[in-house]
Amino acid sequence: MSISIPRGTQDILPGEVEKWQLIENKARELCEKYQYREIRTPIFEHTDLFLRGVGDTTDIVQKEMYTFEDRGGRSITLRPEGTASTVRAFVEKKMFGYANQPVKLYYMGPMFRYERPQAGRFRQFVQFGIEALGSNDPAIDAEVISLAMNLYKEMGLKKLKLIVNSLGDKESRTAHRDALVNHFKPRIGEFCKDCQNRLEKNPLRILDCKHDHEHELMKSAPSIIEYLNDFSKNYFEKLQQYLTQLDIPFEVDPNLVRGLDYYNHTAFEIMSNAEGFGAITTLCGGGRYNGLAEEIGGPETPGIGFALSIERFIAALNAEGVGLEITEGIDCYLAALGDEAKDYTVGLLQQLRLAGFSAERDYLDRKIKAQFKAADRLKAKYVAVLGDEELKNNKINVKNMATGEQVEIDLDSFIKYFQEL
Ligand code: HAM
């Protein structure tokens, strides 16, 4: 019996993987320009990190984590997201003491959530995310958003919608929280079990309920915008001013709450407007998380970031019909005729590769005609043919596959010939 791939995971094969690499390379290139530096954290962490970091009333923690006991009896969880780990490392490695502040970091790697798989929703997916720690300037919120928008744009996406909201500071949130409890409490019996639990622990999360989102109390629920204090209001206005200055169109959506507990002030999502994109339209989500570092045992540190998955990025490119320019074709295929020539190409191939060329030879003992066919399949720009006779005379034939032109050159100067081409 054959063994199949686990549900909600993917094999990304050659032919498809090049799209991933293009996106990953573009992301790294932008991070370099914006001065975000890569951080690599473990794929698993102590479960407590996510209980405290992501929040124990969130769907992620309650339903979606891959948690297991390791052989030492510790509770371990495969990371469901990258922010908690990044902030853990920031605190543990005392990056708050770095001379360069804010500390601007990015990560790229697999995340794990036990969700019901569907289009755009996987159990293992790759996030690219950035985190800026140590600044309370709304200009950095705008920078974070602009990096995500520019990445999408530079890859060719056009049908994007940015929505922003403010969740306010602690004071605003407490006022809003009380208003929400008063609003839902009298009729909480009409809501699902999750919402009933959320009422006391985190009533904001009720607004994000997938089950009860049609309930009339949802639409009339008090909006956070009405409860923002002056500081929070000013902060949000500044952000909007900077986004406008950067020519980034946005919509304010007071119902945007995001599915993780650590957010305050800025929250945002970038959606795809492309037709046929499917039910899940969120490409990227992020926001500010002042207070998370303290939650994890560090000093008071403001922070903001986003994460996006490459899976949904590619789905959006496909939905918009954006073709990516994938460079194909090798520089040289070494075809050989005769045993001695074949042996000789083993070394010659290595010389070509070490000189910087992509090159290939035959490994299936094919006839010369079949070697040319193989060269065609590899889209070789040049085919060099070496026979036993040429080898004896220190010669090799080089054919330009685009023009059909052939030249005989000295075997000694073969690499030099390529370098001068
Ligand atoms: P999140 O909204 O949970 O936020 O996820 C961010 C992005 O990851 C989503 O917008 C989506 O592109 C992708 N994503 C999430 N779940 C899946 C899935 N099951 N399959 C495919 N893609 C998925 C966070 O993770 C926060 N850590 C973002 C952040 C960083 N906030 C501040 N800094």
Digit-by-digit pLDDT tens for the chain (421 residues) are: 899 999 999 999 999 999 999 999 999 999 999 999 999 999 999 999 999 999 888 889 989 999 999 999 999 999 999 999 999 999 999 999 999 999 999 999 999 999 999 999 999 999 999 999 999 999 999 999 999 999 999 999 999 999 999 999 999 999 999 999 999 999 999 999 989 988 988 888 888 888 888 899 998 999 999 999 999 999 999 999 999 999 999 999 988 988 888 999 999 999 999 988 877 889 999 999 999 999 999 999 999 999 999 999 999 999 999 988 888 899 999 999 999 999 999 999 999 999 999 999 999 999 999 999 999 999 999 999 999 999 999 999 999 999 999 999 999 999 999 999 8
pLDDT at 11: 98
| Contact status, residue 24 vs residue 129, Cβ threshold 8 Å | no
| Contact status, residue 70 vs residue 77, Cβ threshold 8 Å | no
Is 309 close to ligand 1, i.e. is its CB under 6 Å away?
yes
Residue partners of 286: CB distance under 8 A and separation at least 6: 129, 144, 145, 148, 267, 268, 269, 304, 305, 306, 307
Is 115 close to ligand 1, i.e. is its CB under 6 Å away?
yes
| Contact status, residue 421 vs residue 403, Cβ threshold 8 Å | no
Atom of ligand 1 nearest to the CA of 84: 27
Phi, psi of 166 (to 5 degrees): -120, 135
pTM: 0.93
pLDDT at 277: 83
Q: Is 247 helix (H, G, I), strand (E, B) or coil?
A: coil
**What token pair was written down for 377?**
């399949």
Residue nearest to atom 4 of ligand 1 (CA): 285
Phi, psi of 218 (to 5 degrees): -65, -45
pLDDT at 324: 87
Helices (H) then strands (E): counts for the chain: 15, 16
Phi, psi of 282 (to 5 degrees): -75, 120
Residue nearest to atom 10 of ligand 1 (CA): 284
Is 124 close to ligand 1, i.e. is its CB under 6 Å away?
no
pLDDT at 400: 97
Is 128 close to ligand 1, i.e. is its CB under 6 Å away?
no
**What spacing in Å lies between the alpha carbon of 55 and ligand 1's midpoint?**
15
**What spacing in Å lies between the alpha carbon of 7 and ligand 1's midpoint?**
19
